[in-house]
Amino acid sequence: MTSQKTNSPDPATTTQETKTSEASGWLRLWRSQEENIRLVAIALVMALIIRIFVAEPRYIPSDSMIPTLHTGDRLVVEKVSYWFHPAETGDIVVFEPPAQLQSMGYHKNQVFIKRVIGQPGDTVSVKNGRVYLNGRSLSEDYIAEPPAYQLNSVQVPAESYFVMGDNRNDSNDSHVWGFLPQQNIIGRAVFRFFPLDRMGFISN
């Protein structure tokens, strides 16, 4: 009586076939999703470019701009317009803290938001509850209350700005630490997207 030998699969061959099958599966998955992955990558790059050069979201961390802006408001800050012209009186600007503020303990990555009052060459003073620009009293229906301090006339140097918070008596602004260098300005606040009941464009 003779015995018949049964051929068993070679373990090495089976492992290799499994690996080949898995690789083929991943390749098919990649090919089926290649276009979607490419679109996601392009979208991420575009979002990064827009955030760096065009616009970015910011939130209000303090009460210094009440009643115009409130703590927790979410804003869109656009960066394009200042490529073509300098900041103007009345603009609400977001900026990196200048050296004066950093010396007071503020981190260089912390951002501030204030209203431009004086441009390069302007003179600014505060007396008797009024802000004076180039000797003329400003009409400011956007402030929380008249300033309760005095400021002797100062002239804004070149490539700098005098900025103030609309909540004049609770604002760490140019009347405390001096002038804002133009290079520190990130952009202009243009639109509030949260809270929803106050959504809308920001009047400068």
Catalytic residue chosen out of the listed positions 5, 24, 62, 114: 114
CB atoms within 10 A of CB 164: 25
Q: Which residues pair with 92 in a beta bridge?
A: 115
Write phi, then psi, for 49 (nearest 5 degrees).
-65, -45
Would you state the structure tokens that stand for residue 4, as one six-digit string?
A: 């018949």
Q: Which of 64, 160, 171, 174 is catalytic?
A: 64
**114 is an active site residue:** yes
> Catalytic: 79?
no
3-state secondary structure the chain: CCCCCCCCCCHHHHHHHHHHHHHHHHHHHHHHHHHHHHHHHHHHHHHHHHHHHCEEEEECCCCCCCCCCCCCCEEEEECCHHHCCCCCCCCEEEECCCHHHHCCCCCCCCCEEEEEEECCCCEEEEECCEEEECCEECCCCCCCCCCCCCEEEEECCCCEEEEECCCHHHCCCHHHHCCEEHHHEEEEEEEEEECHHHCEECCC
List residues with catalytic annotation. Answer: 64, 114
